[in-house]
Amino acid sequence: MDASHTGSAQHLDQLAGALSRFELGARQAYDWGRALAGELSLGRRLLVAGNGGSAAQAQHLTAELVGRYHRDRPAYSAICLSAETSSLTAIGNDYPPEELFARQVDAHGRAGDVLIALSTSGRSRNIVAAVHRAQSVGLRTWALTGRGPNPTADAAEQAICIDAADTATVQEIHLVALHLICEGFDDVVCPAVESAARGMANA
């Protein structure tokens, strides 16, 4: 390969290697989606938190649930804790940094809800604090991180740790995981919606 493309080849090699090690994580992400469908169908809520690039991915996931992924279906309650700028700046101004997401969990979380925490390092203190706060009020806690062990994965009820050294690669696999969550979610919810529609048509 031309020397000018060495960096792109290395990046793709790292991504391919991480994907090849992601088979068990992929299955777990899909299963999370199916479990999440059960919870949200009961009127519960998803909270998602992350910093930086992980904040963007957190908002991506909630958009897929409030809007839609592939198939049309009802909207479901999903809140990105990284997206509300007024709340973030108010909390950041008045409380310790670790409270950035934890205080929002206090506001929005109810027993039976689900928190998905994203952290490429697994060491973000505000993410770890949010996981602990969520558990204290009865939320289920799932973590998407980089290599384990790490504090976020250790704190969460379940975790998918991406075996990759580079932050960009971890983020890319996280996006795959989020889409697999959506696949699992829709595979539960959409057949039920389609079945109900057929029943109404035949009534």
CB-count burial class (<10 Å; 0-12, 13-18, 19+) for 184: buried
Nearest to 196 by CA among 70, 41, 76: 41
Mean of pLDDT values over 62-77: 96
Query: Residue 203: pLDDT band by 50, 70, 90 thresholds?
Result: low
Query: Residue 197: pLDDT band by 50, 70, 90 thresholds?
Result: low
Domain 17-202 fold: Rossmann fold (3.40.50)
pLDDT beyond 80 at 1: no
pLDDT of residue 195: 62
